[in-house]
Amino acid sequence: MNPTIQPGMHPDADSLTAFAEQLLPNREREQILAHMATCSRCREVVFLAQQAGEAEPATASLKASAPPKLRASWLGGWRRAWVPAGALAALIGIAVVVHFRRVETEKQMAANVTDTLQRATPAQTASSPAPAATQANAVEKAKSSPKQTSAPMRGTKGASGVVEEQRVVRQQGSALGKAAPPIVSPPGVAGGAIHGTFAALAKTSPIGGPMARQIQQQNVVPQQSATSQQDLLRQAQNLNQTAADKRVIAGAPLGGVAETVSVQAPTEAAPAPQAPAAQLSYIPMSGKDLGLSSAAAGMKKIPKILLPNGAQALSMASAETRIVAIDTSGALFLSEDNGRHWQPIPAQWMGRAVLVRNLPGGTKTTALQAVPPTRFELVNDKLQTWMSIDGKTWTAENLPGK
Amino acid sequence: MAYLRDVDAAPLQPVDETLPVEAQAPSVTVLPSLLDELWRECGAGQWGLGRDEFDRIVLRAGMGQNFGLDPGAEVTNEQQAAFFRGVKLADLVLAKGCAAGNGRAWEHFMATYSQPLTRAAIAISGSETVGRDLADAFYAELYGLTTRDGERRCPLDSYRGRGSLLGWLRTTLTQRFVDHYRRTYREEALEEQTFDAPMPDSVPQPEPSMLTTLSEAVHRALRDQPAEERFLLAAYYVDGRTLAEIGALLRLHEATVSRRLRRTTDAVRKRLLRNLERSGMSRKATEEALGTDPRDVDLRIDLKKLLQSSPPESFSKQALANPAAAKETLASALLSEERETVSEKAKSAG
């Protein structure tokens, strides 16, 4: 029913209410609007009732929300706690992510090391870099006379005092990194090997990238051949001690730093270009071999090589999938699966083993000629050597009286 | 089995003044299944209404409005069902129960609407004291204390369920308050107020013929506008309502109301110019007529009279405070551009 509004009469409250509540059909709504366009009384009624209705829901909502006020305040308290709780959760999440990334990085680095050991070739062995002492010496000299850097250093200085010179390098850090002239490897000598100590130094160095680059450049210096076995052993011991010192200095937990210290030195004193490749040990911690760029080699973490007894490898050599390693106590371990599993090798030598390295078997000259297998060489603290092909059976070599 | 019941038609009240309609109620057949369904949906049994009384109330309500159809039209069962689903049946049954003097209905009514109605009265009057007095008087009226021709009258009997019962109560309460105010505000004594004598008009008065032409042109221009746009003009320019208030009533955004107002104003102005030119005025005379001071136009053509036919003045505070300013606003909006044009020409000529 649509009551027609008569002139002079007002719509009833029912129609006005339905109009305000948008419940009227269009035709009747138009009638109401037409009336209200000319009727101030009905406009006032509708607007006042509308305002009273708008005020009512607010009051009603207040009344309705009164009982759950306690719950709202309880939630409100928790709402304040959401901020630190969220921050804590985010912190935990970041820590977990960082932890897993670190684990993955370590695994990747370990894989790189084993791959590198597998890819060890005679050429690489022959092109091992010069002793760090010479390199550091070269850097030190480079400050005063850059022109005398490369050639005069070759084969002129022994490996003694390498620790002191490393410290010099470490202390003079970034300044040396800028002052040291580029050192070019001579033809036929491949560089790129990073000594384990240098890797640890670069890792623990607060200087970061430039220092690591500097160290890597120093390791590219052509090798020195005039080092004695005694110096070599002393160097190995000193390097290990230095690495331990640096772990302490750097605040890292003992055993938690992945230095795989290997000592490099020719066994015969001979000029570098003429140095026989077979007498050079292979240093596995090469930034190049590890797939590290020159800039990031010092920053990336060296993989941990922990032996079954929990000690770290003092010296390590590999051939194909076989790895032999000596821990700091002189015990020898063998792994035939790229370091995944280790087995102790009973001592078949005298004294305390301090060095192990591999000697390539030689080159293949004819198609029918078999390539001699790579041999491992073990050196004890008396500079006596033992040879082994499989890493299990060791035979003495050049022993006095033999 | 058809449910046959003879009921009395509820009085039809299209206007505020109750018009007693004593229609002879024909026999109405309502399906009992529909009544059962309505009974379940209504929930009137929760506050103690009996089923027989519910059926009687429903039938009476439907008969009173002829189920939403024109008087005398035949109604089908589907139309009956559509009618009952289109009204606020629960509110309607409660109101009819109260009007019939059902005690349980009154208890439920007071428990449900007592507080909201009091708050609404306070909000409408703007005063707690006045609001409570207004609410108490309204309760008494609702209870049927007023009689006419010896018969108890209950306003709830005029509720037809087209809107919510609470909305109806608010609207009725507002009507009572507005009517009371309109009756009594003229009786208030003027306090010691000083009124300045009107300043003599410095603007030359337009000719009476021009004012007549202008008044007719404005009247036609406003008459041709749609009802909603005329309502917008009246609410905004005459009553001084804000865009938010108008938007809340029409369920429109303020920006929409503003755009419609501007569009309406432009349309009215164009129609006004066209009407003036059609009345024989030249373009120059049209501009001169529109360039007349709006206050002069207001005083003479009584723009308010064109917009509203009811004699009482605007109830809004703005209009009460300064009715001339409220009237001036619409005329200013309509004539502002023309006045600017005339003033620019006067400057250039001067």
Q: Minimal Cα distance from B248: which residue of A? A: A50
Quote the pLDDT of residue B192: 61
Task: Tell me which chain B residues have a C-beta less than 8 angstroms from the C-beta of A15.
Answer: 14, 162
- DSSP class of residue A369? S
Q: Which of B171, B233, B314 sits opposite A49 (nearest CB)?
A: B171
- pLDDT one-digit tens code per residue, A74-113: 555 566 778 888 899 999 999 999 888 888 888 887 777 6
Q: Å from A35 to nearest chain B CA?
A: 8
CA-wise closest residue to B304 among B288, B326, B274? B326
Do residue B120 and residue A54 have CB atoms under 8 angstroms apart?
no
Taking an 8 Å cut-off on Cβ atoms, the answer to whether A44 and B235 are in contact is no
Phi, psi of B148 (to 5 degrees): -135, 125
* Chain A hits for B308, Cβ within 8 Å: 37-40
Q: What is the mean pLDDT of chain B?
A: 75
- In B75-94, the residues whose Cβ lies within 8 Å of chain A are none
Q: What is the ipTM of this complex?
A: 0.72
Higher pLDDT, B209 or B258: B258
CA distance A304 to A298: 15
B37 min Cα distance to partner chain A (Å): 23
Residue range B302-325, pLDDT digits in tens: 555 556 544 444 444 444 445 455
Nearest to B42 by CA among B99, B102, B95: B95
B223 in reach of chain A (CB within 8 A): no
- Alpha-carbon distance values, A97 to A90, A390, B74, B157 (Å): 10, 41, 79, 74
Residue ranges per structural domain of chain B: 1-185, 208-349
pLDDT(A261) > 60: no
Closest residue of chain A to B182, computed from CA coordinates: A41
Query: In chain A, what residues touch B120 (CB-CB under 8 Å)?
Result: 49, 52-53, 55-56
Both tokens of residue B15?
Answer: 């206007």
- Reported confidence tier of residue B331, pLDDT bands at 50, 70, 90: low
Please, which pLDDT band fits residue B344 given cuts at 50, 70 and 90?
low
State residue B165's pLDDT score: 92
Judge: B69–A56 Cβ closer than 8 Å, yes or no: no
Helices (H), A119-161: 122-126, 132-144
Q: How far is A34 from chain B (nearest CA, A)?
A: 5
Q: B317 to chain A: nearest residue by CA?
A: A44
Residue of A26, A31, A40 to mutate, testing the B interface (most B Cβ within 10 Å of its Cβ): A40
Which candidate from B119, B178, B238 shows the least CB-CB separation from A56?
A: B119
Rounded Cα distance between B66 and B52, Å, is: 21
Please report, as a single letter, which amino acid is at residue B309: S
Chosen for mutation from B91, B142, B171, B314 (greatest number of chain A CBs closer than 10 Å) is B171
CA dist B134 and B173 (Å) reads 8
Closest CB to A37 among B123, B230, B241: B230
More confident residue, A194 or A335: A335
Cβ within 8 Å of A, B 265-294: none
Alpha-carbon gap, residue B340 to B348, rounded angstroms: 12
Q: How far is CA A73 from CA A77, A82, B186, in A?
A: 6, 14, 52
**Rounded-to-integer distance, Cα B45 and Cα A282, Å:** 99
Find the helix or strand (DSSP H, E) in which B98 lies.
helix B89-99
- CB-based contact B312 A17, cutoff 8 Å: no
Q: Which residues contact B182 (CB under 8 A, 6 or more apart)?
A: A41, B312, B315
pLDDT of A397 strictly over 60: yes
> How much is the pTM?
0.46
From the list B164, B309, B319, the residue facing A17 with the nearest CB is B164
B160 touches chain A (CB under 8 A): yes
Q: What pLDDT is stored for residue A231 in this prediction?
A: 55
- Distance separating alpha carbons of residues A113 and B191, to the nearest angstrom: 104
> What average pLDDT does this structure show over A220-245?
47
Residue A314 has pLDDT above 70, yes or no: yes
Category of A41 on φ-ψ map: left (φ > 0), alpha (ψ -120 to 50) or beta: alpha
